[in-house]
Amino acid sequence: MKLQKEYSSDFSIISITFDKKKESVKNYTVKNKMNWTHAYVERYFSKRNAPNILDNLRVTEYPTLILMDDENKILFRGSGTETLDKVKNIIKNSL
């Protein structure tokens, strides 16, 4: 990701994947050169059994982008491709 390369000393990206096949996720991240930290959460068949991390972070859409500061305060959250542009602007304007 261009943003990660450009500002790697200023922030970190952590991806949390909620999927059925860990190997598919690994292959996707390698193929797309997603060279940052990834966490894998196994997908369950019902929302009732879903891991608490999705509820704790209020993830309801994919991808969900959450921008946090060093004290884990959420500065911005959103979903969709336009959200990435908003995150880029926040990062660029804060440096």
Higher per-residue pLDDT: 6 or 15: 15
Which residue ranges form the domains of the chain, and what is each CATH number?
Answer: 2-94 (3.40.30.10)
Q: pLDDT digit string (tens) for 36-81?
A: 888 877 766 555 655 577 777 777 777 788 888 788 888 888 887 7
The residue among 82, 89, 95, 73 whose CA lies nearest residue 11 is: 95
Query: What pLDDT band is residue 4 in, cutting at 50, 70 and 90?
Result: low
Given this model, what pLDDT does residue 70 score? 81
Tens digits of residue pLDDT in 24-40: 888 988 998 887 888 87
Question: Average pLDDT over the chain, rounded to whole?
Answer: 77
Question: At residue 77, what are phi and psi to the nearest 5 degrees?
Answer: -145, 145
